């Protein structure tokens, strides 16, 4: 079966051996910088607590988080159609326009009274949900996509700590909680422009890349329908898993200020980086190592293994912490490592190998946004449940229980997903043995 696409690039020519030896590192770092800078327009507000502020009996910060995540989730829904159909030549302009609109919303948040400020946080999140797919589009479909994607995805970890550290430092220096997000964004404008220019100068995938990973380009409506019909059973397993990991990761990012305060680290601006830096290094090394695996089906199954290992790490560390066997910062590091080890492969590398394994022509952004939209809607639902069911738990206790429950359910889903995709590959002649992790081969013909 061939999935239709619209290719925007001329036929690539084989490049001389070694001529692009530094390309994966340069491309990965440029993508990392662009997305890290985007974080400066999305996450700095979460470094503030907005204490003694509420509306309708609900903490003001919870309203802000819900409003921004709602805008972000709606943006993901739009992106399912808009990003796969966008011409690659317009990616850079689109990124600048989207981030610029979100920055204007932060200015409105700074100038407006608190209640309209909730609306401005919604408007801030509305454009930003489309940025990830646009950035990933520069690096997908290459033999080193896992390496580049791992560098890019590590921005989730490093950027969150850095941006909130900058925001916290501004607050400690006397900047108001409403002006701090706008001024934090200002700090990151120059590196955003420089790194985006680097991405714009990247060459397209080579003939060798296309042979190894399938052609990449725009996907029209019919191509998207074909993809869903073919992989729906597997997606019905992997999307709920992604929702669980998104909810936990987003909760940790939005309320780690409150969790650290519960744990006795509320006055430290460095604690975010102290915890997130080792997480980022560890996850980056493990996910990037998948680029060494040439066999697509084997690498696809190893993505499942990494996700399962992350869920085990998050669940076991939380169980030990609940029984007072781990100190607080060690727990926050291990639970963060586990959640990101599960979450980051699902932000590109997992779906990159899915498309390469089954020779699907198109763009990773489509299936990624299907999962992303569901994940952020789930994040909003969890916040509403915690707030309006009046659960008598502090932030840390709620997070502990959510991690334990989600880890168990997630392990079941990832096992079923691995089983279904391996079976589907075997039905299409992609496996030769009865073990999902045994040596595998691909047919040379397009399925």
Mean per-residue pLDDT for 377-390? 69
Mean per-residue pLDDT for 424-432? 71
Residues 248, 402 contacting (CB under 8 angstroms): yes
How many Cβ atoms from other residues are within 10 Å of residue 194's Cβ? 13
Which backbone phi and psi does 406 adopt, to 5 degrees? Answer: -70, -35
Q: Is the pTM of this model over 0.75?
A: no
Task: Kindly report, residue by residue over 225-283, the tens digit of the pLDDT.
Answer: 888 888 999 989 998 998 888 888 877 776 767 777 777 765 655 666 677 778 878 88
Written as one string, the DSSP assignment of 30-63 is: HHHHHHHHHHHHHSGGGG---TT-EETTEEHHHH
Task: Kindly report, residue by residue over 34-50, the tens digit of the pLDDT.
Answer: 999 998 998 888 878 78
**Which has the higher per-residue pLDDT, 216 or 40?**
40
CA 257 to chain centre: 20
Residue 134 has pLDDT above 80, yes or no: yes
List the domains of the chain with CATH numbers: 24-427 (1.20.1250.20)
Q: What is the pLDDT confidence band of residue 9, given thresholds at 50, 70 and 90?
A: very low
Residues 149, 299 contacting (CB under 8 angstroms): no
For the stretch 387-392, contacts whose Cβ atoms lie closer than 8 Å and that sit 24 or more positions apart, written own/partner, are: 387/58, 387/59, 387/62
Task: Kindly report, residue by residue over 67-93, the tens digit of the pLDDT.
Answer: 988 888 888 888 888 888 788 889 999
Mean per-residue pLDDT for 125-142? 87
Residues 150, 23 contacting (CB under 8 angstroms): no
Distance, in Å, from the CA atom of 137 to the CA atom of 132, rounded to the nearest integer, reads: 9
> Is residue 366 within a helix (H) or strand (E), and if so which, with residue range?
helix 364-388
Measured on CA atoms in the order 421, 422, 427, 431, is the torsion positive or negative?
positive
Task: Kindly report, residue by residue over 324-359, the tens digit of the pLDDT.
Answer: 888 888 888 898 899 989 988 887 788 888 888 888
pLDDT at residue 356, rounded to an integer: 84
Q: What is the largest CA-CA distance in the chain?
A: 65
pLDDT at residue 233, rounded to an integer: 92
Residues 124, 42 contacting (CB under 8 angstroms): yes
Query: Which of 26, 162, 196, 235 has its CA nearest to residue 94?
Result: 196
Mean per-residue pLDDT for 415-425? 92
Residues 357, 428 contacting (CB under 8 angstroms): no
Across the chain, mean pLDDT equals: 81
pLDDT at residue 311, rounded to an integer: 95
**Which has the higher per-residue pLDDT, 101 or 44?**
101
Residue 23 has pLDDT above 80, yes or no: yes
**Which has the higher per-residue pLDDT, 364 or 30?**
30
Residues 202, 92 contacting (CB under 8 angstroms): no
């Amino acid at each position: 079966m061939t999935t239709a696409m619209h290719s925007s690039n001329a036929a690539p020519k084989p490049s001389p051996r070694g001529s692009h030896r530094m390309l994966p590192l340069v491309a990965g770092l440029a993508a990392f910088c662009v997305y890290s800078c985007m974080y400066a327009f999305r996450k700095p507000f979460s470094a503030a607590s907005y204490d003694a502020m509420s509306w309708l009996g609900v903490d003001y910060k919870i309203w802000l988080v819900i409003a921004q995540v709602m805008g972000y989730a709606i943006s993901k829904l739009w992106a399912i159609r808009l990003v796969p159909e966008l011409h690659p030549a317009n990616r850079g302009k689109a990124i600048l326009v989207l981030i610029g609109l979100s920055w204007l919303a932060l200015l409105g948040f700074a100038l407006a009274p608190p209640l309209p400020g909730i609306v401005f946080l919604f408007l801030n999140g509305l454009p930003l949900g489309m940025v990830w797919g646009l950035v990933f589009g520069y690096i997908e479909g290459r033999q080193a996509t896992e390496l580049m994607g791992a560098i890019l995805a590590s921005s989730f970890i490093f950027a969150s700590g850095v941006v909130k550290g900058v925001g916290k430092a501004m607050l400690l220096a006397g900047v108001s909680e409403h002006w701090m997000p706008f001024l934090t964004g200002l700090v990151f404008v120059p590196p955003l422009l420089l790194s985006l220019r680097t991405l714009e100068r990247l060459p397209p995938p080579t003939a060798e890349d296309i042979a190894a990973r399938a052609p990449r380009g725009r996907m029209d409506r019919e191509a998207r329908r074909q993809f869903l019909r073919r992989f729906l059973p597997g997606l019905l397993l992997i999307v709920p898993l992604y929702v669980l990991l998104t909810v936990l990761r987003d909760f940790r990012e939005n309320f780690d200020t409150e969790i650290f305060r519960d744990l006795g680290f509320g006055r430290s601006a460095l604690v975010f980086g102290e915890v997130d830096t080792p997480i980022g290094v560890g996850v980056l090394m493990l996910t990037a190592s998948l680029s060494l695996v040439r066999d697509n089906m084997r690498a696809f199954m190893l993505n499942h293994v990494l996700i399962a290992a992350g869920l085990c790490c998050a669940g076991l560390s939380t169980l030990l912490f609940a029984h007072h066997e781990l100190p607080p910062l060690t727990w926050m590091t291990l639970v963060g490592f586990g959640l990101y080890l599960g979450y980051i492969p699902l932000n590109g590398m997992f779906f990159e190998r899915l498309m390469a394994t089954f020779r699907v022509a198109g763009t990773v952004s489509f299936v990624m946004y299907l999962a992303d939209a569901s994940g952020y809607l789930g994040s909003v639902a969890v916040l509403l449940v915690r707030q309006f069911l009046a659960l008598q738990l502090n932030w840390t206790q709620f997070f502990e229980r959510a991690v334990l429950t989600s880890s168990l359910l997630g392990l079941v889903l990832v096992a079923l997903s691995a089983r279904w995709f391996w079976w589907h590959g075997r039905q299409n002649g992609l496996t030769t043995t009865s073990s999902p992790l045994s040596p595998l081969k691909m047919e040379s013909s397009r399925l």
